[in-house]
Structure 1
Amino acid sequence: MMAGMQTLALLPWPDLLAMAWFLAAWVGYAWYSRRASVHGATLLATTNRYRRYWMLQATSRDPRVLDGIIVQSLSSSPSFFASATIIIIGGLLALLGTTDKAAEFVREIPFATRTSMLVFELKMLVLIGIFVYAFFRFTWSIRQYTFGALLLGSLPAPEEFAAGKFDRERFANRAGTLVGMAAETFNDGVRAYYFAFAAIAWFFSPLALAVGAALVVAVLYGREFHSQVLHVLRD
């Protein structure tokens, strides 16, 4: 802890301001997006309604092989990203062992800001931390899809719903919410990938980091709140 504080103290003030702006942009946008989802204004909230419709249809289907295939297909995306993230983390850790060569390569770029080796290593650690966070979100999304498949497999037969033994709406809401939570967790991991690109810009200059974070927020906002996909799903 003391070593980390000493390292931060060695950061020039432009880098400190850029890193503070980067964290504020990421956390602030995540908070804003999650709050807007409650009111149904985001792409995730809109697709969650379709997930509920899907689970409502599943309660009247038997067998539910098609629904199981869909859940398996949805879980393949976080599984792929989790595997790719492990490879990226391994590559970054290997690069961390040769920071002198990597720092020398960055210094040769004409518009890159020259920094000390300690600051360069801190930037590498920040980038590794982002991908570690993404890995945990992707693996948790896989687990949640597994729970969703379990809940889907435990749905009573359509005849029991028709006879009034079980509440169809309650089962559909519960299953749809669980699958929606898995999608939201996967979305957190993908968002970390977006901000990782902004963090890469930090190797060039603090200004590049700040501009990159702002551009990432703009891209995410456009896709989650004003994309053509959202308009199609709402119509």
Structure 2
Amino acid sequence: MTQLIDAITTVLTTLDLVAFGFFLVIWSVYTFLADNSPLRHKSISSAMDQQRKAWLQESLKREIRMLDTGVMQILITGVGLFASTTIFVIGGIVAGISYTGELSAAFSSLPFIVANTAEMWVIKLGVLLAIFVYAFFKFAWSVRLANYCSILIGGLPKPEDAGEQKSIRKAEAAATISSLSGHHFNRGVRAYFFALAAVAWIFDPVLFMISTVLVVAILARREFSSKSLAAIRSVSDL
């Protein structure tokens, strides 16, 4: 590990290292604030968790739950699409790592782009690869949790058969699994946003830092002050 770190610090410039460190810190801080701090309760994710709970408690009143399983199928299909797409992205990046010399030569002739050696291309593409591998694991686990939730929904008993309290507890368990699935899906989508910022590193480390700040601003607005959040909150107490 020490040799790897030494190799990276030798290949990258000081500005590259600062930009990469800035990227990691910003991503980590935003993730903590959005997912683990008290600020999370003001997010659209938290508002949707409440709606999931209301949805599955409402499903207890239905004789046939085809509507609920249909909703879950839509959710699973959406997450699965991201997971399969991520595999293709990973394959493309792996292929790109095999042609770093050609990439270095091709981009060196473009204006307003910092020159990248073949070794720098390997590192920068390796960072992108790590981000998308992380995203794939998040999407894959989200799909599994969504499947588990579908099974729990299928096993929800009628309140008159199993008792109201037992039925509510099972509905709450299904809502918790659904919320966890959504949480991991959000982490995967967030990785896509930060991967777009990391693409800017190929062109310029300063642009990399600017892109990171812009990504956080976009994510924060959509998570904490979007029109979608206002619409969801407007029906939360109805």
TM-score class, shorter = over 0.9
Q: Report the TM-score, using the length of structure 1 for normalisation.
A: 0.94
| Residue matched to 1:51 | 52
Q: Distance in 1 between matches of 2:150 and 2:73?
A: 8
C-alpha displacement at 1:195, in angstroms?
A: 0.4
Q: Distance in 2 between matches of 1:16 and 1:132?
A: 22
Using the TM superposition, name which of 223-232 and 110-119 deviates more: 110-119
Deviation digits for residues 35-54 of structure 1 (CA, Å, limit 9, x no counterpart): 35675200000011110000
Structure 1 SS opposite 2:113: coil
- After TM superposition, the structure 1 = structure 2 runs for residues 132-147 of structure 1, keeping only pairs within 5 Å, are 132-147=133-148
Kindly indicate whether the alpha-carbon contact (under 8 Å) linking 2:104 and 2:118 is maintained by their aligned counterparts in 1.
Answer: yes
Using the TM superposition, name which of 167-176 and 140-149 deviates more: 167-176
Kindly indicate whether the alpha-carbon contact (under 8 Å) linking 1:160 and 1:166 is maintained by their aligned counterparts in 2.
Answer: no
| Residue matched to 1:19 | 20
Structure 1: tracts of 5 or more residues without a match = none
Kindly indicate whether the alpha-carbon contact (under 8 Å) linking 1:112 and 1:205 is maintained by their aligned counterparts in 2.
Answer: yes
C-alpha displacement at 1:159, in angstroms?
A: 2.4
Q: Distance in 2 between matches of 1:148 and 1:124?
A: 36
Q: Distance in 2 between matches of 1:82 and 1:45?
A: 23
Q: Report the TM-score, using the length of structure 2 for normalisation.
A: 0.93
Structure 1 SS opposite 2:157: coil
Kindly indicate whether the alpha-carbon contact (under 8 Å) linking 2:60 and 2:156 is maintained by their aligned counterparts in 1.
Answer: yes
Structure 2: tracts of 5 or more residues without a match = none
Amino acid at match of 1:192: A
Kindly indicate whether the alpha-carbon contact (under 8 Å) linking 1:38 and 1:45 is maintained by their aligned counterparts in 2.
Answer: no
Q: Distance in 2 between matches of 1:127 and 1:53?
A: 38
User: Is 2:128 the counterpart of 1:127?
Assistant: yes
Deviation digits for residues 169-212 of structure 1 (CA, Å, limit 9, x no counterpart): 32222111110110110000000000011000000111011111
User: Is 2:91 the counterpart of 1:90?
Assistant: yes
C-alpha displacement at 1:118, in angstroms?
A: 1.1
Kindly indicate whether the alpha-carbon contact (under 8 Å) linking 1:7 and 1:119 is maintained by their aligned counterparts in 2.
Answer: no
Deviation digits for residues 45-72 of structure 1 (CA, Å, limit 9, x no counterpart): 0011110000001112122111111111
Q: Distance in 1 between matches of 2:230 and 2:181?
A: 23
Using the TM superposition, name which of 111-120 and 78-87 deviates more: 111-120
Kindly indicate whether the alpha-carbon contact (under 8 Å) linking 2:156 and 2:167 is maintained by their aligned counterparts in 1.
Answer: no
Q: Distance in 1 between matches of 2:33 and 2:120?
A: 31
Q: Distance in 1 between matches of 2:40 and 2:190?
A: 21
Closer/same/farther in 2, CA of residues 90 and 185 from structure 1, 3 Å limit: same
Q: Distance in 2 between matches of 1:36 and 1:9?
A: 33
Amino acid at match of 1:187: N
C-alpha displacement at 1:168, in angstroms?
A: 3.4
Which of structure 1's runs of 4+ aligned residues deviate more than 6 A? none
Kindly indicate whether the alpha-carbon contact (under 8 Å) linking 1:106 and 1:203 is maintained by their aligned counterparts in 2.
Answer: no
Kindly indicate whether the alpha-carbon contact (under 8 Å) linking 2:159 and 2:167 is maintained by their aligned counterparts in 1.
Answer: no
Kindly indicate whether the alpha-carbon contact (under 8 Å) linking 2:80 and 2:143 is maintained by their aligned counterparts in 1.
Answer: yes
Amino acid at match of 2:160: E
Q: Distance in 2 between matches of 1:39 and 1:123?
A: 32
Amino acid at match of 2:139: F
| Residue matched to 1:207 | 206
Higher RCO (C-alpha 8 Å, min separation 6): 1
Closer/same/farther in 2, CA of residues 31 and 109 from structure 1, 3 Å limit: same
C-alpha displacement at 1:155, in angstroms?
A: 1.0
Name the count of aligned residue pairs: 233
Kindly indicate whether the alpha-carbon contact (under 8 Å) linking 2:33 and 2:39 is maintained by their aligned counterparts in 1.
Answer: no
- Percent of aligned positions that are identical: 34
